[in-house]
Amino acid sequence: MTTTTSRELSGRALAMLRAVDAGRAEFTAGREPDLYVDGLPCCDQTATHDLVHAGLLRPTTAALPGQLVRAELTDEGRAALRTA
């Protein structure tokens, strides 16, 4: 797992983490999940993939590819928000 600090996160990435923390985000299930906030696709899927690969975000449950599932912060994701 990659460790990422808030200093390395862009304003957009931090906003994405805040949306997930507020319960406003879902992922499409799959190897490279896409993030939806308030039902709309996020404009920066590369940032989504980076946050997932850094271990800051994860889906709450397993699902079939393409299905939407709620997104949540990991402990590392919560720590990144606290230090932002």
50 in any annotated domain: yes
Write out the chain's pLDDT in tens, 84 residues: 344 444 589 999 999 999 999 999 999 988 889 999 999 999 999 999 999 999 999 999 988 988 999 999 999 999 999 998
Residue numbers of the domain that contains 68:
6-82
Q: What's the total number of domains in the chain? A: 1
32 conformational bin, left if phi > 0, alpha if psi -120 to 50, beta if neither: beta
* Type of residue found at 44: D
Which CATH number belongs to the domain containing residue 49 in this structure?
Answer: 1.10.10
76 in any annotated domain: yes
48 in any annotated domain: yes
1 in any annotated domain: no
- Res 2: pLDDT: 45
Q: Encoding tokens for residue 5?
A: 């600090």
16 in any annotated domain: yes
Q: Output DSSP code: residue 7.
A: G
